[in-house]
Amino acid sequence: MDEVTLDERVQVWGSRLAAGLPSGGLRRPRAGAEQLMMRWLIGDPRLRAALFRFVDVRPACHSRSELVRHLSELLEEAGGRERFGAGEGPVDGEHSGVARRLARLTGRRALELPTAAAAALGVASMAHRFIAGEDAEAAAGELRSLWEHGRCVTLDLLGEATLTEGEGELYAERCTQTLRTLAQLGAAWQPAPMLDHDGLGPLPRANLSVKVSALTPHLRANAPRRALEAARERLLALLRLARELDAHLHVDMESLDTRESITELFLELLARDEFVAGPSAGIVLQAYLTDSEEQLERLLAWVEGNPRGAPFTVRLVKGAYWDHEVVLAAQHGWRTPVFTDRRACDRHYEHLTRRLLDARAGGLALRPAIASHNLRSLAHALAYADALRLEPEAVELQVLRGLGDDTAAAINACGRRVRVYCPVGDLVAGMAYLVRRLLENTSNDSFLAALGSGADLRLLLERP
Amino acid sequence: MTAHATFRNEPALELRREPVRAQALRALAELRTKLPLRIGSASGAAWGADGAGGGGGGELRSHNPADPAELIAVAPAGTAADARAAVTRADAALTAWASLEASVRVRTLQRAAGLLRERRLELAALEVLEAGKPWPEADADVCEAIDFLEYYALGAAALAQGVALLQVPGERNTLRYHPRGVHAVIAPWNFPLAIPAGMVSAALVTGNTVVFKPAEQTPACGHALVQALHAAGVPEDAVVLLTGSDEPARELVAHPLVHGIAFTGSCAAGQHIIRAAAEPHPGQRHVKRVIAEMGGKNCIIVDADADLDDAVPAIVKSAFGFAGQKCSAAARVLVCEEIAEPLSERLAGAIAALRVGPAEDFASDLSAVIDAEAVTRIGAFLEGAEHAPRVQAQVPAGTDGHYVPPTMFVDLPSSSRIVREEVFGPVLSCERVTSVEAAVRIVQEGDFGLTGGLFTRSPRTIEYVSRLGIVGNLYVNREITGAMVGRQPFGGGRLSGTGPKAGGPDYLLSFVEARSVSENTVRHGLVI
């Protein structure tokens, strides 16, 4: 199909999705305070940095006075309090006026307690937007409610970094427990054809996203085989349990340093005879990596060469470690492994989408999952799938809880399958996650930020 | 020195990519076919039939620390006579080298950097085998050597412009920097290319000539540096390689024709050099200048609000990278008591997960220590604390490699040798403190002041500790090793060294003498 025709279909899908956004889509009034905060954050990088650092340190504050001390210090810094004497601080124009005013407030004794409480509360409620509960059990109501709204889920277990064998063991136990809980919970949900089947067969209701880096302290960028030996038994046990419970096991992708270990390990295990019939499994492809097409070809070749009873899911994401990859490369003098131009990255995302959908249309036992909050990217996937005459169930769209709630509603309204990536864990564990999501949501490149600030829909749906 | 603005660090090998690792391993295999390397003698004589150097001191041999049966290089064991001959040659070469245009020396050093760059994989492989340095760190050392050559070349070009002085009518005031004379460079084995490259190139590029004595454990690395300098066009006698152990080094320090001594090594040796160099010798008409980089007993302070997910891996890397054999390595963790338990627990688990093995294996977190003597020395520290509870990782069994298990002690009494003295091995002491202020006092009371770490999420605490200047290099919320040229100028205070900071803007000034000229431009009452 030529590009013009495809693009017309993308526009049509984009408008349908936009119309499905709650409150008619654009300029949806958020709660007043939150809206104001988001506006400050987007427009004020120093305040943004201060608040993120506060959110980050929040769980380490064991008393209210600790909390206030950190908040006012961070705000003072953002407000331009000199750190190393004249000449070395940021130039005056870069200071945050909002931060300075807030710093004065938090610095006043009388306001200490209420401010601290508000600060603590603010973080907790922010966190709750992104984190469904402490564990699967606690999130049961939320998961059921999502299902009843036409949304299936995948669970992600937040936690501290795994630095020891004990921590790896603990994470594996949490995974085991979660799989069992999810299988139980899912069994009680009402039938939902769009969520329960696609053309390739039944879709497991229990769906867990696993981080290999949390299974073992032995991930080493320069020695990918080391993690294979270290994590093999734990991942094997999870795959066997998923097979037994008819659950889906997905491995998440993390920083580029770990890609080789994760891919090698997962594909090696899945290729075993014992897993020929199941479980359903999948991996993640990060479109922001400039070599992601090679990675996709490798995955497709593997799927082709390893016919299994259960189809293989590839979740296409943009990638969440952009800053990390850029910083690491700059500090070592390496070629930047990610696209640095947003439009080039979006173009590549669409290119990989087409490659995935082509492969599915070509008869491969592959389930493409398009995970994005960018309406253009989602519309493009739906338009291209239509053009290939794929059945509506063939394409799954995925969003993050908290950030993608409106997008999920829009997808529901269009009658397509949406899966919500739901992190569970305690507040302490959720901080890194929360900070990452907030940074994304308020960055200049954020589609949601643009949408929230009332940018022109036509521009947002333009071909990248 | 605006010239430094154009400086960029040499990019590290991207070892996370499989083809790069494969290349590195090929270079190692290729190097193995050439072993043992045979290094010529300082006095220029060809290798004698007896295998000894010109001075008759016999030979010294370097071995793979992970497999001492593997001979890496054979070099002459230089004698006092060899040292005297080397100084005589360097002195004779001085006038010609010093009188070159600065730009010629600058370009020569830049060419030498290029030659090292061409041999990067081979040189890293050599460090892997001769120093037992794991790949990423061996590669970083080669990069740092290149960085030093490039950085000091740019610095020397800027220095040659002189400095602007106050001018009043009828006066023309100028200031130029002159070379000082023959320099002795006495280098350690732990950064076998980078540290000598820094000291040698700083002396050379500013117009001095050099007699360079590499550590006896790593003669081949030292030789590779001199080879590159000669191939780039530095005259044979302007930089003379003198392999050997203590005897030639003592002679160099005492020699009346030596004007400056650049040393990196132990505190005891450094203090000895400072004393010996202060003693004038017959015929000596100058004061010797000593630049000494000595030891460290580096502390990482962990505040109660620190993120342990970051702090633990950074502490492990700082304490156990290259088996702790860096003067910048972490020796003590001073943790606020609120989080002392979880920190030491997680540290223990992380240490237990460390893998000890040959440096050439990419999966090794840490390697063997340099030689049998180091095993004995570190062993004595561990035995001295025999009743104290400790956490250790496994070391490979059934090998003759010089392995020492990475070890952590928790809450040792402050009188323990492990708390007080520099171990220079994979040994860490974790101690609880009541506050950051208390930790700062402990650092200030220590003999050394080289590197230090601080983990905190409070801007005020960062400011408080930074302002105190308690160590030469303070690292906040990151590992405390791996200083980069031009980014973290390196060097400490107290007994850690004399300064100036290596890889920083002031370093070259220690290798030159400023001379000012004031010319009267008034003739017959007129300004000409």
On whether both B319 and B290 belong to a single domain, the answer is: no
Partners of A84 on chain B (C-beta within 8 Å) are: 463, 466-467
Q: Is any Cβ of chain A less than 8 angstroms from the Cβ of B306?
A: yes
CA A450 to CA A342: how far, in whole Å? 13
Place of tokens 């093995």: B357
| The Cα angle at residue B335 between residues B331 and B339, in degrees rounded to 5 | 140
Contact B416, B317 (CB under 8 A): no
Single-letter amino acid, residue B389 = P
Residues 6+ apart with CB under 8 A from A75: A47, A50, A99, A100, A102, A103, A106
On whether both A48 and A146 belong to a single domain, the answer is: no
ipTM over 0.90: yes
Q: Is residue A454 situated within a structural domain?
A: no
- Write phi, then psi, for B184 (nearest 5 degrees): -100, 130
Beta bridge partners of B453: B300, B475
Q: B360 to chain A, minimum CA–CA distance in Å?
A: 12
Q: Is residue A245 situated within a structural domain?
A: yes
Can you give the pLDDT at residue B386?
78
The secondary structure of residue A252, as a DSSP letter, is P
CA A341 to CA B393: how far, in whole Å? 45
On whether both B247 and B267 belong to a single domain, the answer is: yes
Tell me the CATH number at B481.
3.40.309.10
Q: Is residue A310 situated within a structural domain?
A: yes
Contact B233, B184 (CB under 8 A): no
Can you give the pLDDT at residue A70?
84
Can you give the pLDDT at residue A86?
38
Parallel, antiparallel, or unpaired for β A197-198 and A151-157?
Answer: unpaired
What average pLDDT does this structure show over A383-398? 96
Can you give the pLDDT at residue A77?
78
Domain count, chain A: 2
Contact A376, A349 (CB under 8 A): no
Tell me the CATH number at B115.
3.40.605.10
Q: Is residue B57 situated within a structural domain?
A: no
Contact A26, A454 (CB under 8 A): yes
Burial tier of B343 (Cβ tally within 10 Å: 0-12, 13-18, 19+): buried
Q: How many helices (H) and strands (E) does chain B have?
A: 15, 21
What average pLDDT does this structure show over A71-83? 69
Mutation to test the B interface, candidates A331, A332, A434, most B Cβ within 10 Å: A332
Angle between helices A292-305 and A342-361 (to 10 degrees): 10
Nearest to A437 by CA among A398, A397, A403, A399: A403
Q: Is residue B373 situated within a structural domain?
A: yes
Contact B331, B429 (CB under 8 A): yes
On whether both A188 and A226 belong to a single domain, the answer is: yes
CB contact under 8 A, B307 and A223: no
On whether both A68 and A49 belong to a single domain, the answer is: yes
CB contact under 8 A, B12 and A332: yes
CB atoms within 10 A of CB B215: 25
Q: Is any Cβ of chain A less than 8 angstroms from the Cβ of B136?
A: yes
Q: B469 to chain A, minimum CA–CA distance in Å?
A: 12
Partners of A333 on chain B (C-beta within 8 Å) are: 8-12
Residues 6+ apart with CB under 8 A from A405: A399
What average pLDDT does this structure show over B60-84? 97
On whether both A159 and A119 belong to a single domain, the answer is: no
Q: Is the pLDDT of residue B432 over 70?
A: yes
On whether both B216 and B334 belong to a single domain, the answer is: no
Can you give the pLDDT at residue A108?
55
Out of A11-20, A91-100, A281-290, which region has the weakest mean confidence (pLDDT)?
A: A91-100
Find the helix or strand (DSSP H, E) in which A114 lies. Answer: helix A112-130
Q: Is any Cβ of chain A less than 8 angstroms from the Cβ of B50?
A: no
Contact A194, A393 (CB under 8 A): yes
Burial tier of B290 (Cβ tally within 10 Å: 0-12, 13-18, 19+): buried
CB contact under 8 A, B308 and A160: yes
Can you give the pLDDT at residue B53?
46
Q: A396 to chain B, minimum CA–CA distance in Å?
A: 32
Percentage of chain A exceeding pLDDT 90: 64
> For A189-241, what is each residue's pLDDT tens digit?
999 999 999 999 999 999 999 999 999 999 999 999 999 889 999 999 999 99
Out of A104-113, A207-216, B303-312, B343-352, which region has the weakest mean confidence (pLDDT)?
A: A104-113
Burial tier of A397 (Cβ tally within 10 Å: 0-12, 13-18, 19+): buried
Q: Is residue B492 situated within a structural domain?
A: no
Can you give the pLDDT at residue A27?
42
Q: Is residue A91 situated within a structural domain?
A: yes
Contact B439, B433 (CB under 8 A): yes
Residues 6+ apart with CB under 8 A from A187: A205
On whether both B235 and B325 belong to a single domain, the answer is: no
CA A421 to CA A437: how far, in whole Å? 12
Q: Is any Cβ of chain A less than 8 angstroms from the Cβ of B457?
A: yes
Residues 6+ apart with CB under 8 A from A37: none
On whether both A200 and A339 belong to a single domain, the answer is: yes
Contact B256, B408 (CB under 8 A): no
On whether both B285 and B318 belong to a single domain, the answer is: no
Last residue of a domain, one of A109, A126, A143: A126
Q: Is residue B376 situated within a structural domain?
A: yes
* Chain B residue with the nearest C-alpha to that of A331: B11
- How big is chain A by its Cα radius of gyration, in Å? 23
Single-letter amino acid, residue B249 = A
On whether both B237 and B152 belong to a single domain, the answer is: yes
Can you give the pLDDT at residue A112?
53
Provide the token pair at B202.
Answer: 């700083």
On whether both A184 and A79 belong to a single domain, the answer is: no
Out of A115-119, A263-267, B94-98, B430-434, which region has the weakest mean confidence (pLDDT)?
A: A115-119
Can you give the pLDDT at residue B48?
37
CA B338 to CA B456: how far, in whole Å? 13
Average pLDDT value for chain A: 86
* Chain A residue with the nearest C-alpha to that of B460: A73
CB contact under 8 A, B457 and A53: yes
On whether both A190 and A270 belong to a single domain, the answer is: yes
Nearest to A372 by CA among A340, A344, A411, A339: A411
Q: Is the pLDDT of residue A452 over 60?
A: yes
CB contact under 8 A, B307 and A56: yes
Q: Is residue B522 situated within a structural domain?
A: no
On whether both B287 and B344 belong to a single domain, the answer is: no
What average pLDDT does this structure show over B39-55? 52
Q: Which ranges of B234-357 does DSSP label H, i.e. alpha helix? A: 246-254, 267-278, 308-320, 340-352
Distances (CA, A) of B162 to B93, B105, B177, B181: 24, 16, 7, 19
What average pLDDT does this structure show over B380-403? 89
Q: Is residue A54 situated within a structural domain?
A: yes
On whether both B366 and B509 belong to a single domain, the answer is: no
Tell me the CATH number at A174.
3.20.20.220
Nearest to A175 by CA among A189, A161, A160, A155: A155
**Dmax of chain A from CA atoms?**
69
CB contact under 8 A, B458 and A69: yes
Contact B202, B210 (CB under 8 A): no
- What residues of B act catalytically? 293, 327
Q: Which ranges of B427-515 does DSSP label H, i.e. alpha helix? A: 436-445, 459-468
Last residue of a domain, one of A108, A126, A144: A126
Average pLDDT value for chain B: 94
Percentage of chain B exceeding pLDDT 90: 90
Nearest to A400 by CA among A353, A447, A437: A437
Partners of B467 on chain A (C-beta within 8 Å) are: 84
CA B12 to CA B8: how far, in whole Å? 12
On whether both A328 and A357 belong to a single domain, the answer is: yes
CA A95 to CA B279: how far, in whole Å? 57
What average pLDDT does this structure show over B193-203? 98
> For B138-150, what is each residue's pLDDT tens digit?
999 999 999 999 9
Provide the token pair at B134.
Answer: 């794991």
Can you give the pLDDT at residue B110?
98
Provide the pLDDT confidence category of residue A102 given band limits of 50, 70 and 90: low
CA A427 to CA A425: how far, in whole Å? 7
Q: Is residue B1 situated within a structural domain?
A: no
On whether both B329 and B426 belong to a single domain, the answer is: yes
What average pLDDT does this structure show over B221-247? 97
Q: Is the pLDDT of residue A64 over 70?
A: yes
On whether both A264 and A250 belong to a single domain, the answer is: yes
Residues 6+ apart with CB under 8 A from A325: A255, A256, A288, A289, A319, A336, A337, A338
What average pLDDT does this structure show over B359-385? 96
Single-letter amino acid, residue B189 = W
On whether both B195 and B334 belong to a single domain, the answer is: no
On whether both A105 and A234 belong to a single domain, the answer is: no
CB atoms within 10 A of CB A403: 19
What average pLDDT does this structure show over A422-432? 78
CA A294 to CA A311: how far, in whole Å? 21
Coil, helix or strand at residue B33: coil
Q: H/E/C letters for each residue in B370-404?
A: CCHHHHHHHHHHHHHCCCCCEEECCCCCCCCCCCC
Angle between helices A64-78 and A112-130 (to 10 degrees): 80
Partners of A163 on chain B (C-beta within 8 Å) are: 309, 312-313, 346, 349-350, 353
Q: Is residue A332 situated within a structural domain?
A: yes
Q: How many CB pairs under 8 A join A and B?
A: 96
Partners of A217 on chain B (C-beta within 8 Å) are: 349-350, 353
**Dmax of chain B from CA atoms?**
90
CA A115 to CA A444: how far, in whole Å? 29
Domain count, chain B: 2
Partners of A167 on chain B (C-beta within 8 Å) are: 346, 349
Closest to A218 (Cβ–Cβ): which among B346, B353, B361? B353
> For B464-513, what is each residue's pLDDT tens digit?
999 999 999 999 999 999 999 999 999 999 999 998 999 999 999 999 99
| The Cα angle at residue A141 between residues A121 and A23, in degrees rounded to 5 | 70
Coil, helix or strand at residue B409: strand
Coil, helix or strand at residue B527: strand
Q: Is residue A431 situated within a structural domain?
A: no
Q: Is residue A201 situated within a structural domain?
A: yes
Which residues constitute the domain of residue A93? 32-126
Partners of A256 on chain B (C-beta within 8 Å) are: 16
Which residues constitute the domain of residue B123? 83-160+179-294+501-513
DSSP track, B81-144: HHHHHHHHHHHHHHHHHHTS-HHHHHHHHHHHHHHHHHTHHHHHHHHHHHT---HHHHHHHHHH
On whether both A112 and A187 belong to a single domain, the answer is: no
On whether both B286 and B427 belong to a single domain, the answer is: no
Chain A: which residues have CB within 8 Å of chain B?
53, 56-57, 60-62, 66, 69-70, 73-74, 76-77, 83-84, 160-161, 163-167, 217-218, 220-226, 256-257, 260, 332-335, 432
Q: Is residue B146 situated within a structural domain?
A: yes
Provide the pLDDT confidence category of residue A84 given band limits of 50, 70 and 90: very low
> For A7-59, what is each residue's pLDDT tens digit?
999 999 999 999 999 864 444 444 555 555 666 666 777 777 777 787 788 77
CA B294 to CA B270: how far, in whole Å? 6
On whether both A85 and A208 belong to a single domain, the answer is: no
| The Cα angle at residue A100 between residues A96 and A106, in degrees rounded to 5 | 140
Residues 6+ apart with CB under 8 A from B287: none
Mutation to test the B interface, candidates A53, A222, A260, A328, most B Cβ within 10 Å: A222
On whether both B319 and B380 belong to a single domain, the answer is: yes
